[in-house]
Amino acid sequence: PGVELMRSIREIDAESLRSYPDAGELERAIAKRWGVAPERIVVTNGGDDAIDRTCRATLEPGRNLVSHTPTFEMIPRVARLAGATVRATRWVDDGFPTESIRSAIDDQTGLVAVVSPNNPTGGAAPVDAIHLLSTAARRVGAAFLVDLAYAEFADSDPTPDLLALDNAVIVRTFSKAFGLAGLRVGYAIAPPPISEWLRTTGGPYPVSGPSLALALHALAGHAGVPEAHVRRVREERAGLTSRLRSRGVRTIPSQANFVAAYVGDARAVRDRLLDRGIAVRAFEGGGDLEGLVRITLPGDPVAAASLFQAIDQVPDEFLEAQP
């Protein structure tokens, strides 16, 4: 968060503490940002809440969710909590599996979900593929969810190209590019009546008054996107990818604010970096993510220099590329 945003914390109106929160002003500002009607915007308690509401509105026992794996873990989790079965097609680093996902859709499908850029790999689904899957979902009366939590970091944000989809829930968040995960502010963009369903499948006051005020300030201050931070992250992403590949490490092409790489010893790499004060996520336990480390990019020149220096000091034996 920028200095101006931190200062604005002291300017929060006491009325926002006394009164029940009203997300209307933020929803109108978000609607203006994307050029849509305010009734299409549903502010939620982070992107997780938007996903949870979507699953509860569209899934039940006997229905299925069609998605890909790996994916953001909350999607299959809340789908199963809704009583649905999960059909997941493998998507790691070998191209988006449009046809495999489409072939899994049937008359019992209640929701088709895509995360792009994907978490935890950073891969991005082509916009044409997203349109095809939305159409396939519509043919069986299913809704379509696309989680764009990391979209600001992509070379091209697909949101404007997806606004016309009449069965889509577009999930966005203030947690990633804005760096405001602690506020727990996300939102869904959806056409009526889907947006109306989303309002009724969760609590009426999902976000606190102070969080709403700070999110509104952040949106106004950046005209929608914190450009300088995003630009630095993209530069760091290219630099880290090049650095790792020069040492024989296989990286997954990323459009997010992190780089996912297969290394010889994920735990050892994680521990070596942690010794230098840098936390990365190491995936263990088998499967497609075995040996993967996810390295988040700071978007700060000093922190990035420290990260690159720490990577350079990890022994080759730990970074040795997997066969």
Q: List phi, psi (to 5°) of 268.
A: -65, -40
pLDDT digits (tens, 9 = 90+) for 76-93: 999 999 999 999 999 998
| Average pLDDT score, the chain | 93
pLDDT digits (tens, 9 = 90+) for 245-255: 999 999 999 99
Give the domain ranges of the chain. 3-222, 227-319
Rounded CA separation 85/81 (Å):
10
Rounded CA separation 168/171 (Å):
9
Reading across the β-sheet that carries 168-173, which strands appear in turn?
41-44, 186-189, 168-173, 143-147, 109-115, 64-69, 85-90
Tokens 């989303």 belong to residue: 198
Question: CA-based Rg of the chain, rounded to a whole angstrom?
Answer: 20
What average pLDDT does the segment 193-209 reach? Answer: 95
- pLDDT bucket at 321, cuts 50 / 70 / 90: low
Tell me the fold of 3-222: Aspartate Aminotransferase; domain 2 (3.40.640)
The angle subtended at Cα 232 by Cα 231 and Cα 234, nearest 5°, is 65
Evaluate whether 44 touches 206 at the Cβ level (below 8 Å). Answer: yes
Residue 158 burial (CB count, 10 A): 19
Predicted confidence (pLDDT) at residue 60 exceeds the cutoff of 60:
yes
Q: Which regions of 91-226 does DSSP assign to beta strands (E)?
A: 109-115, 143-147, 168-173, 186-189
pLDDT digits (tens, 9 = 90+) for 20-42: 999 999 999 999 999 999 999 99
- pLDDT bucket at 228, cuts 50 / 70 / 90: confident
Q: List phi, psi (to 5°) of 256.
A: -110, -170
The separation between CA 266 and the C-alpha centre of its own chain, rounded to angstroms, equals: 23
Rounded CA separation 102/79 (Å):
18
pLDDT digits (tens, 9 = 90+) for 149-186: 999 999 999 999 999 999 999 999 999 999 899 999 99
Give the CATH H-level superfamily of domain 227-319.
Aspartate Aminotransferase, domain 1 (3.90.1150.10)
Query: How much is the pLDDT for 1?
Result: 57
Domains 3-222 and 227-319 share a fold: no
Residue 238 burial (CB count, 10 A): 12
Mention every residue, 6+ apart, whose C-beta is less than 8 A from residue 242.
none
- pLDDT bucket at 3, cuts 50 / 70 / 90: low
CA distances from 119 to 148, 260, 313 (A): 10, 10, 27
pTM of the model: 0.93
pLDDT digits (tens, 9 = 90+) for 102-161: 999 999 999 999 999 999 999 999 999 999 999 999 999 999 999 999 999 999 999 999
